[in-house]
Chain A
């Protein structure tokens, strides 16, 4: 009885082995089914024990049989999970011991004498099998640890990879968002630029129209005078013709009077032609000023151009302020070489300089200085080398030092809002320097006057 009960110890050992195996091989997850079957490891032990009780078999080999069964079971389990490398190592570890145990049990049950006879051999074999077992179990443990470490590392790597992928996705999205917003911004900027360009073109045109507006009254005045002459001379010529006819009806004709009347008629017709042409040239100038520049260069007489625009500018200002009066003096070099220029553009420059000059003298006059005579002078001069210089001088208010630096900047104006676009001098500067390769300079003294000097190469 005592001997048979030793199987309980074996069952206890088996429980430890089963538990170790489950843990080591990670059976619950690797092989859930086998794991459950392993739970019945004690059943053979119990059966053997009950069987031995039943047949009153008294033997000390019962636990050995059970142990062998257990070992076979372990081997079978290991074979099932041989894909797992530590399992194969364990298999390698236990096989000699199992073989030894089987041989020992077999030979023991066949003949005890055989066992006794080779006791030394068996003992050595057992020792060897145990050392083998322990060694390989240790190796297996090491392998398992390595695998475990590798798995942890892989998982960490995998986790890192996933994180990087996630970060990449976030970055990609941010980049895409940024790109689309940049594209949008670029489009908006492009749009704004186009609008600005259009506005600039419109501004230049409106500056032109504004100066045309200033001119309109002057032009009207300039046209009205010649037209009045045309009307008056036609009228008076009709009277002369009537008088001539009356004279012809008389029995005694006054030859001298007839000759005088005819001479007057001839003169009047010349006057009519002259004033008609004068009006026509003013209209032509006005049309040229309002038309978009063709940019075509033609030989231009600056004396004629300066004279024409001086009068237009003067009468333009007069139309706005009827009390205004100024002395205009011209100092034209004669002969003056003609220069290749876009007359229409230079006309705008001169108009602008004259308008500014008149504005300056008007401002000074408003200060109520006694004995002040507003004077605007324009002088031309041939330069050595074929160029021409035009000086527009006024004895107006002058330009303060602080303002002088800015006068050629676009949109800079000292005039009250709505009176000046601030583009006049800036456009003039461009026309002279860029359009005609000339220079536009200013000499001024506050309270004394200003002189703008245009030089144009021949």
Chain B
């Protein structure tokens, strides 16, 4: 399962690669990284069909995660292929952002600090579902 992680923090890459190193080694997950909303859209233009899940931070300079979500839902609204799942992550775990994200079509909403154990569960569940 291909997952695109969008965050302006570079170290997120190292963190994800280590957190999910067994799953990566087993070939269960493949991660790609984008460091801004704009970069994520660029990546999607080339790999839209491959990406199953997008994990995006909301608070980023330039295009915010919510704007990225809006673009994704506009561009990749209808199948085929099946639209990617989008999970939003934010440091401000407020209800306002959650409502907004869900209204824009987010599939899930996580707050920082990310509980990687729970996230792993969700991802594994998704994988099973996919298969």
Using CB atoms and an 8 Å cutoff, list the residues of chain A in contact with chain B. 221, 224-225, 227-229, 231-233, 235-236, 239-240, 264, 267-268, 271, 275, 314-315, 318-319, 322-323, 325-328
Contact = CB atoms under 8 A, between A and B. Distances in A.
B115 to A, nearest CB: 10
Contact of A325 (B9, B14, B67, B92): B67
B116 A232 contact: yes
Contact of B113 (A231, A319, A328): A231
Interface string B39-68: 000000000000000000001011110110
23 contacts: A221-B59, A221-B92, A225-B112, A227-B113, A228-B113, A229-B11, A229-B15, A231-B113, A232-B15, A232-B19, A232-B114, A233-B15, A236-B15, A236-B18, A239-B18, A240-B18, A267-B14, A314-B61, A319-B92, A322-B97, A323-B66, A325-B61, A325-B63
Nearest to A220: B91
Interface of B: 9, 11, 14-15, 18-19, 59, 61-64, 66-67, 91-92, 94, 96-97, 100, 112-114, 116
A318 B15 contact: no
Contact of A322 (B9, B14, B94): B94
Nearest to B63: A325
B114 to A, nearest CB: 8
* From A233, A236, A275, residue with most partner B Cβ within 10 Å: A236
Given A232-B114, A267-B14, 6 more contacts: A229-B15, A235-B116, A271-B14, A275-B11, A323-B100, A325-B61
A322 B15 contact: no
B59 A328 contact: no
Contacts, number: 56
Contacts of B100: 323
B15 A327 contact: no
Contacts of A328: 61-62
B62 A271 contact: no
Contact of B18 (A225, A268, A327): A268
A60 to B, nearest CB: 148
A264 B15 contact: no
A228 B74 CA distance: 32
Contacts of A319: 92
Residue among A229, A235, A264, A325 having the largest count of chain B Cβ atoms under 10 Å: A325
Given A225-B9, A228-B112, A232-B116, A322 B91 contact: no
A283 B125 CA distance: 40
Contacts of B19: 232, 236
Nearest to A328: B61
A118 to B, nearest CB: 151
Contact of A318 (B18, B59, B63): B59
A224 B18 contact: no
A221 B15 contact: no
Contacts of B18: 236, 239-240, 264, 268
A235 B64 CA distance: 29
Contacts of A240: 18
Nearest to A232: B15
Given A221-B59, A225-B9, A232-B15, A325 B64 contact: yes
B91 A221 contact: yes
Contacts of A236: 15, 18-19
A419 B85 CA distance: 41
B125 to A, nearest CB: 21
Nearest to B19: A236
Contacts of B67: 325
A264 B67 CA distance: 35
Contacts of B112: 224-225, 228
B130 to A, nearest CB: 26
A157 to B, nearest CB: 96
Nearest to A268: B18
A237 to B, nearest CB: 8
Contacts of B11: 229, 271, 275
A251 B4 CA distance: 38
Given A229-B15, A231-B113, A232-B113, A322 B61 contact: no
A189 B114 CA distance: 61
Given A232-B113, A236-B19, A322-B96, A327 B62 contact: yes
Contacts of A227: 113
Nearest to A261: B21
A236 B64 CA distance: 28
Nearest to A257: B25
9 smallest A-B Cβ distances: which pairs? A228-B113, A325-B64, A236-B18, A327-B62, A328-B61, A232-B15, A224-B91, A221-B91, A236-B19
A325 B37 CA distance: 12
Nearest to B61: A328
Contacts of B14: 267-268, 271
